[in-house]
Amino acid sequence: MKRELGIARCGLACCLCSENVTCNGCNSGECPDKDWCENRECTVSKKIGHCYECNEKCRKGLLAKIKPYAFTEFARRYGENYLLDCLERNEKNEIVYHREGINGDYDDFDDVEALIEYIKTGQR
């Protein structure tokens, strides 16, 4: 885990991304998706660092997907540091963020609240 990369603007876990060997996160200015990322554009225009800092509960861009939306909701409710603590603990307990391509153990959910509970407890 590269904790210093933290959480992306949209809620994805840059700190656990399998691409973080070459990517320094969406706030680095080096993000290959920076020209089309709707969440980056929105947060920059609102002068906030992350979607979880916004008062609107929208489903724009990557927030249309359960994983980034649940991570954003988790950070909104409990804070980014607690999210990072949980992700680090889960990684130590062999919960994998990217197992096949960009899919891993956090992707097999169709309910936001169930995924938030999984992040918190590491238990299904």
Query: Cα separation of 5 and 24, whole Å?
Result: 7
* Predicted local distance difference test score (pLDDT) of residue 20: 66
The tokens for 69 are 């939306």
- Six-digit token pair at 118? 């999984």
pTM of the model as a whole: 0.92
Give the length of the chain.
124
Cα radius of gyration rounded to whole Å, the chain: 13
Divide the 124 residues of the chain into consecutive groups of 10 and give the mean pLDDT of each group: 90 85 75 85 94 93 96 97 98 92 91 98 94
Q: Is 110 helix (H, G, I), strand (E, B) or coil?
A: coil
Please state, as a whole number, how many other Cβ atoms lie within 10 Å of the Cβ of residue 5.
20
Angle in degrees, 0-180, between the axes of helices 112-121 and 66-78, rounded to the nearest 10: 60
CA distances from 34 to 13, 25, 38, 41, 99 (A): 16, 10, 9, 8, 25
Whether 69 contacts 112, CB under 8 Å: yes
Calculated CA dihedral for residues 43, 58, 3, 85, nearest 10 degrees: 140
